[in-house]
Amino acid sequence: MSAAATTSQAANASKQRSKPNIVVIWGDDIGTWNISHNNRGMMGYKTPNIDRIAR
């Protein structure tokens, strides 16, 4: 019984690891050029956290 429980837990852990990471960012009046990753600094401000996710 113990081996079956351990095998089941391992199978569940591997299923959880295989799920994709999905991030949804909502904003009002935000265009693609408002993120510094897309405009290479031309807009005069930086969005380092979003840039890190974009990489």
If pLDDT is split at 50, 70 and 90, which confidence band does 9 have? low
Domain boundaries, the chain: 23-55
Q: How many CB atoms lie within 10 A of CB 42?
A: 8
Band (pLDDT 50/70/90 cuts) for residue 7 is low
On the question of pLDDT at 1 being above 60, the answer is no
Please report, in angstroms and rounded to a whole number, the separation of the first and last CA atoms in the chain: 46
For the cut 70, the answer to whether the pLDDT of residue 42 exceeds it is: yes
